[in-house]
Structure 1
Amino acid sequence: MHNKIGVDHPAVGIQFSVGLSAVGENTEQMKLALTTQVNTFTQCSEYIAEKKVWVGAYTSELVGDVPESLKNSDSRNLRFALTALQKIESNVREYTKQFSKVRLGVVIGTSTSGIADNEATLKQHFRHKEYVEVVHKKQEMGSLAKDLQQYLGWGGPAYTISTACSSSAKAMVAGQRLINAGLVDAVLVGGVDTLCQLTLNGFNCLESLSHDICQPCGKNRDGINIGEAAALFLISKDQAPVLFLAAGESMDAWHISAPHPEGKGAAEAMQKALDMANLKAADIGYLNMHGTSTPQNDAMEIKAVRHVFENIDVPLSSTKHKTGHCLGAAGAIEAYICQQVLLDQTWLPLHHSGVLDPDLDDQNYVLDVSLEKPIQYVMSNSFAFGGSNISVILGTSFK
């Protein structure tokens, strides 16, 4: 039975999902991390020369090997993806047996792919002036979706989306479109990104890294912490406890790395998501902010929230002080967090406990994690370089 939430863009059911990040490898660990003040970050010195930085690292074990057919693509990013997939693999394979393999798709978001593995190879070349072979397939953006398709033995559409921090949220709505266009029956969507020197040094050059653990919308916020995550969802037309309802997208085209200062694109994305889902702002029970902890991004996002939600006291928080900014996987891991909130119905992700910016403290930040009454809809924001904005809405199938 089709989920007739949106008229032109029917909702799709999230049949199975998994989320791995600095907050853990299962829902119990994640809930504990997101509802307490426990530190989930790791301080590392191997990414930036002569500088220690806090990162949201996934510290549990990854799969030890990849199939022979994927050896040319072998990277930590691929192993992270396979580690996540294997946690739901038996369910996914059993569920998708009912469909033709050419009707099964894969859409994944990433921004780093396997570049970390080639960084080590290039370092060897530059340090020792040795000839080294760089296997470019490891870091090709398109490799991840194709590799997962090959691993599963599927034959439908398979492609990767790389639009910086909005990548995996866009992958989710892309999967919904494939289903609603009648091109596939089920899609594996989500995002995977791993820590690497390129992104850490890049944000360091932009002077956008936090000197400590980040404090989104905090008075003394000074930048982001980079994280890594792997979050995957199998979606289809079938009913499920949590539905992917809608997404709204916009493009600032204001600046290569800065958002529109008034949050125009961000507000447009949120409103489009509400319109697509046939909802009002008052229907949203929780808003997961993009909340990077940079001065410009936080300020513009709160302006956008004020515009869209006006006098509505929506509970909101950023979870990046726990996961880190997971770049291409940020949208997917935060959607996964929102899904768990809807499934559990007892908690909301805690905003950090630091002092808030007095110019931004007029919002209903989640400082008490207890969920006093059930919620049906949640919204999650992802805003990327160049103003590539997306807001997604998930909802329960029960009233």
Structure 2
Amino acid sequence: STSGIGAVEATFADAEAKNTKPFDYRQMEIGTAAPFAAAALGLGGPAFTISTACTSSAKAFAAARRLLRAQLCDAVVVGGVDTLCELTLQGFASLESTSAVRTNPMSANRRGINIGEGAAVFLMSREEGPVRFAGAGESSDAHHISAPDPQGAGGEIALRAALADAGIDARAIGYVNLHATATLKNDQMEAHLMARVFPDGVAVSGTKPLTGHTLGAAGATEAGLAWLTLARDDVALPRHLWDGQADATLPPLDFVESARYLPRGAGAQSQYVMSNSFAFGGSNVSLVLAR
């Protein structure tokens, strides 16, 4: 969502001081991220960038699977990256969406997000690996340009579509990585839809206190955490870091607050994990990974 804007901001400041040409637009053109990566890695085949704000890199996984199923690619490098810049920091501050202290997801005292930056990249292929990309669900509720549908109707469609795509019901999911931005409206929406989709409960956590909200990279970053819980026996479920002050207006969720692991061994249940992403404009994505 930012591409090279940070470098351009610095160039603008330098140009103003020296009265020189400010920048080349190609430095910040969002679509160049994937072609650059393909060129750097010496890859052929389709190369394109998806930019749908905070669902960008989650949607990239669904797009990568379509390329594989259509036999257009033998393997796909897929993921997301986003970088800090003043435009993003000041923009979210203007929306009164940022917190001056560590983000506090699902708390009665939540005040907003911490902007982060990061990258997570996967190799997806048709070959069997330690973790399988089992399902994806995408929807758009178009409720508001920046606010989610208060009851999460569009998000619920995405979660149920991901479960159906994976061929499982909600009871098969052992852990859900929440979008959990710690903004008032997002957490309200997500808590309600989670209670409806998982009436019997499921282990959940919001991991943005660990990484910051990496925006376009959030879906891939959090899918990476989900991948680790499935692929490695020694990795516990990501913990939910917050002040423990539950919002009484939200349905209760089963937050991972101490060391917990997915069950192991033959016949173990809950070999599936889910990762949710929601974005401005009502873009919703849910991914399901399986051991």
What TM-score bracket applies, with the shorter chain setting the length? over 0.9
The match for 1:335 is 223
In the alignment, which of 255, 258, 269 is matched to residue 368 of structure 1? 258
Displacement of 1:133: 3.6
In the alignment, which of 276, 280, 286 is matched to residue 391 of structure 1? 286
**Could you tell me how far apart the structure 2 residues matched to 1:156 and 1:348 are?**
36
Displacement of 1:336: 0.3
The match for 1:123 is 13
**Could you tell me how far apart the structure 1 residues matched to 2:251 and 2:150 are?**
18
The match for 2:197 is 308
**Could you tell me how far apart the structure 2 residues matched to 1:382 and 1:187 are?**
21
Displacement of 1:129: 6.3
The match for 1:291 is 180
* Amino acid paired to 1:167: S
In the alignment, which of 187, 194, 210 is matched to residue 99 of structure 2? 210
Displacement of 1:302: 0.7
Q: Deviations over 1:43-88 (max 9, x none)?
A: xxxxxxxxxxxxxxxxxxxxxxxxxxxxxxxxxxxxxxxxxxxxxx
The match for 1:152 is 41
- Segments of 5+ residues of structure 1 without an aligned counterpart are 1-110
The alignment-based identity, stated in percent, is 50
Displacement of 1:246: 1.2
Q: Which runs of 4+ in 1 moved over 6 A?
A: none
SS in 1 for 2:263: coil
* Amino acid paired to 1:335: A
SS in 1 for 2:30: coil
SS in 2 for 1:165: coil
**Could you tell me how far apart the structure 1 residues matched to 2:231 and 2:44 are?**
32
* Amino acid paired to 1:359: T
**Could you tell me how far apart the structure 1 residues matched to 2:18 and 2:139 are?**
46
What TM-score do you get using the length of structure 2 for normalisation? 0.95
* Amino acid paired to 1:264: A
The match for 1:350 is 239
**Could you tell me how far apart the structure 2 residues matched to 1:371 and 1:359 are?**
29
What TM-score do you get using the length of structure 1 for normalisation? 0.70
Root-mean-square deviation (CA, aligned residues, Å) is 1.2
Displacement of 1:242: 0.4
**Could you tell me how far apart the structure 2 residues matched to 1:259 and 1:129 are?**
44
Q: Deviations over 1:122-173 (max 9, x none)?
A: 12234x2612240221211111110111112222000000000000011111
Displacement of 1:252: 1.2
SS in 1 for 2:49: strand
| Pairing of 1:103-142 with structure 2 (within 5 A) | 111-126=1-16, 128=17, 130-142=19-31
- Segments of 5+ residues of structure 2 without an aligned counterpart are 265-269
Please state if 1:185 is matched with 2:74.
yes
Q: Deviations over 1:152-197 (max 9, x none)?
A: 2222000000000000011111001100011111000000101111
In the alignment, which of 117, 131, 134 is matched to residue 242 of structure 1? 131
Judged with a 3 Å threshold, the aligned counterparts in structure 2 of structure 1 residues 372 and 236 are, in CA distance, closer, same or farther, namely closer
**Could you tell me how far apart the structure 1 residues matched to 2:251 and 2:70 are?**
43
**Could you tell me how far apart the structure 1 residues matched to 2:94 and 2:222 are?**
26
The match for 1:318 is 206
The match for 1:377 is 272
In the alignment, which of 134, 149, 164 is matched to residue 275 of structure 1? 164
Please state if 1:232 is matched with 2:121.
yes
